[in-house]
């Protein structure tokens, strides 16, 4: 297998702080410079790009910057789709400033009258994550934003509301999973909701206007809620290039996208957030025992089964879902088109899971050429270096600090 390390893909010094990618954080975001390089080296302006696991929209932003003809982004997480949509929608800067002023004015008015609105998500659960005063403040802020008439402008401020809802909560910062702060930290946690909102809004207005001022071309953007295991409405063979980073494994044992998005989504009234992690790749129980066409996977599952059948089934379920999705990617990708996946290899029960090799094997079975796999270090990936051990509750289990960029070409005869 053509698989090697290449330091030139590490991109240690990329600063996302001041750019549109940073409108709202998201777990396991793709490195923008890497996507930019892939587009420069493997796409043309006339190409149609697709990211079936679009998350917060890194591929969309970079494809618009490159000026590709069109870009499709799919995901099941409504908050991720909102972030991706806001990053890729041109809005008037003057109106953003006017709306920001109106939101701040309305909020202060509600606060002076001690008004609280009937817009608070399920109170019993929400009080576990916020003090009573913060709940009132978020309710006022939510109401002040709801009154913005223009939907694109409202969406822009809703992304900031989701961001503030996270920062003002008792959820431990720098963890993607839902762990509450210690009692001591909770008593010290006194966020000022409106200052947080106002400063984030000012930075985000700069980020979005700088980005759109830089764009010289116009790309068609299509962002849609869609389950990758289902058929899309796209015609056969219309996609030139797929660039995507699928989840590392099922949400309960790897990155829980639903958990990370829960508080923001509750304040934005996205009810489907409850149970989202179970609808993502590998979230369902394995019903069919047949596995995708990968010898490596089949051997691995037999080893895992000897140790723990449930864990073996969850790994099988993840790859089964991916295989079903891959068949749909194959349908929409044109012959000769490229599929480039960025994956991480994790351990289950002490066994390394070579996701990159399993994916490459699946695609070569479909008639693809595996061009190469590049191994890169991820110095600045938004991922904790360790995850909590579920039995000891200690930060013990090392997470991956390398990722694998798999380059595949669809055979012309497919
Ligand atoms: C690694 S993240 C993508 C991050 C993205 N590249 C970015 O830069 O923000 C993987 C994404 O896959 C999505 N996902 C998982 N299972 C899915 C499914 N069956 N259909 C669609 N999206 C799914 C998750 O919601 C998550 O946003």
Alpha carbon of 246 to ligand 1 centroid (Å)? 6
Q: Domain check: are 209 and 251 in the same one?
A: no
Helix, strand or coil, per DSSP, at residue 343: strand
Q: Which of 34, 49, 55 to mutate to test the pocket of ligand 1 (most atoms within 8 A of CB)?
A: 55
Alpha carbon of 384 to ligand 1 centroid (Å)? 18
pLDDT for position 123: 62
How many angstroms separate the CA atoms of 360 and 326, rounded?
Answer: 11
Tell me which residues have their CB closer than 6 angstroms to ligand 1.
Answer: 26, 28-30, 53, 55-56, 58, 74-77, 80, 227-229, 245, 247, 257, 280-281
Asked which of 186, 213, 240 is the last residue of a domain, the reply is 213
10-residue mean pLDDT profile of the chain (414 residues): values are 94 72 94 96 98 98 97 98 98 98 98 96 86 97 98 98 97 87 95 98 97 93 98 98 92 83 95 89 77 94 94 93 97 98 94 96 97 88 47 48 96 79
Q: Which of 21, 75, 265 to mutate to test the pocket of ligand 1 (most atoms within 8 A of CB)?
A: 75
Q: Domain check: are 276 and 403 in the same one?
A: yes
Q: Which of 25, 27, 53 to mutate to test the pocket of ligand 1 (most atoms within 8 A of CB)?
A: 53
Cα radius of gyration rounded to whole Å, the chain:
22
Q: Domain check: are 101 and 236 in the same one?
A: no
Instruction: Report how many domains make up the chain.
Output: 2
CATH number at residue 32: 3.40.50.150
Q: Which atom of ligand 1 is the closest one to the Cα of 258?
A: 25
Alpha carbon of 104 to ligand 1 centroid (Å)? 34
How many angstroms separate the CA atoms of 141 and 104, rounded?
Answer: 8
Q: Domain check: are 113 and 160 in the same one?
A: yes
pLDDT for position 301: 95
Residue whose CA is at the smallest distance from ligand 1 atom 21:
75
What is the token pair recorded at 62?
């970079």
Angle at 319 between CA 41 and CA 329, to 5 degrees: 45
Alpha carbon of 331 to ligand 1 centroid (Å)? 20
Q: How far is CA 239 from CA 49, 73, 293, in A?
A: 6, 12, 24
Alpha carbon of 73 to ligand 1 centroid (Å)? 10
Question: What are the helix (H) ranges across 215-308?
Answer: 257-267, 276-279, 295-307
Alpha carbon of 186 to ligand 1 centroid (Å)? 31
Domain that holds residue 98: 93-213
Alpha carbon of 57 to ligand 1 centroid (Å)? 10
Residue whose CA is at the smallest distance from ligand 1 atom 16:
280
Asked which of 162, 188, 213 is the last residue of a domain, the reply is 213
Alpha carbon of 55 to ligand 1 centroid (Å)? 5
Q: Domain check: are 235 and 301 in the same one?
A: yes
Q: Domain check: are 227 and 133 in the same one?
A: no
Q: Domain check: are 276 and 394 in the same one?
A: yes
Q: Domain check: are 275 and 361 in the same one?
A: yes
* 277-316 per-residue burial string, b: 16 or more CB within 10 A, e: under 16: beebbbbbebeeeebbebeebeebbeebeeeeeeebbbbb
Q: Domain check: are 54 and 100 in the same one?
A: no
pLDDT for position 51: 98
Contact 52, 228 (CB under 8 A): yes
Asked which of 180, 213, 246 is the last residue of a domain, the reply is 213
Q: Domain check: are 297 and 236 in the same one?
A: yes
pLDDT for position 394: 43
Q: Which atom of ligand 1 is the closest one to the Cα of 28?
A: 1
Residue whose CA is at the smallest distance from ligand 1 atom 5:
55
Q: Domain check: are 345 and 247 in the same one?
A: yes
Q: Domain check: are 244 and 374 in the same one?
A: yes
pLDDT for position 395: 44
């Amino acid at each position: 297998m053509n698989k090697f390390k290449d330091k030139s893909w590490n991109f240690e010094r990329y600063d996302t702080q001041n750019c549109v990618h940073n409108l709202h954080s998201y777990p396991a975001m793709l490195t923008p410079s890497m996507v930019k390089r892939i587009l420069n080296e493997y796409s043309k302006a006339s190409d149609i790009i697709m990211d079936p696991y679009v998350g917060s929209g890194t591929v969309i932003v970079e494809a618009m910057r490159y000026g590709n003809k069109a870009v499709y982004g799919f995901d099941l997480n409504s908050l991720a789709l909102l972030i991706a949509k806001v990053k890729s929608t041109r809005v008037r800067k003057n109106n953003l400033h006017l709306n920001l002023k109106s939101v701040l004015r309305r909020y202060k008015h509600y606060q002076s009258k001690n008004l609280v609105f009937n817009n608070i998500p399920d109170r019993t659960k929400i009080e576990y994550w916020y003090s009573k005063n913060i709940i009132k403040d978020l309710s006022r802020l939510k109401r002040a934003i709801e009154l913005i008439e223009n939907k694109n402008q409202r969406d822009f401020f809703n992304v900031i509301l989701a961001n503030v809802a996270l920062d003002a909560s008792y959820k431990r910062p720098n963890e993607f999973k839902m762990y509450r702060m210690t009692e001591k930290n909770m008593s010290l946690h006194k966020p000022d909701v409106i200052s947080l909102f106002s400063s984030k809004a000012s930075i985000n207005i700069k980020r979005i206007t700088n980005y759109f001022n830089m764009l010289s071309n116009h790309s068609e953007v299509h962002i849609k809620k869609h389950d990758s295991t289902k058929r899309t409405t796209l015609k056969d063979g219309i996609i030139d290039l797929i660039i995507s980073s699928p989840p590392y494994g099922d949400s309960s044992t790897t990155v829980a996208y639903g958990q990370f998005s829960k508080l923001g989504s509750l304040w934005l009234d996205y009810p489907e957030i409850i149970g989202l992690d179970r609808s993502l790749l590998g979230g369902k129980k394995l019903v069919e025992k047949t596995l995708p066409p990968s010898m490596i996977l089949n051997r691995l599952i037999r080893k895992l089964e000897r140790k723990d059948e449930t864990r073996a089934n969850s790994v099988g379920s993840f790859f089964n879902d991916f295989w079903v999705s891959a068949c749909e990617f194959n349908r929409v990708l044109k012959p000769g088109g490229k599929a480039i996946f960025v994956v991480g290899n994790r351990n289950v029960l002490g066994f390394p899971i070579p996701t990159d090799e399993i994916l490459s094997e699946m695609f070569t079975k479909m008639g693809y050429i595996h061009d190469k796999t590049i191994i890169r270090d991820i110095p600045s990936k938004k991922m904790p270096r360790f995850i909590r051990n579920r039995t000891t509750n200690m930060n013990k289990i090392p997470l991956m600090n390398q990722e694998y960029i798999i380059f595949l070409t669809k055979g012309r005869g497919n």
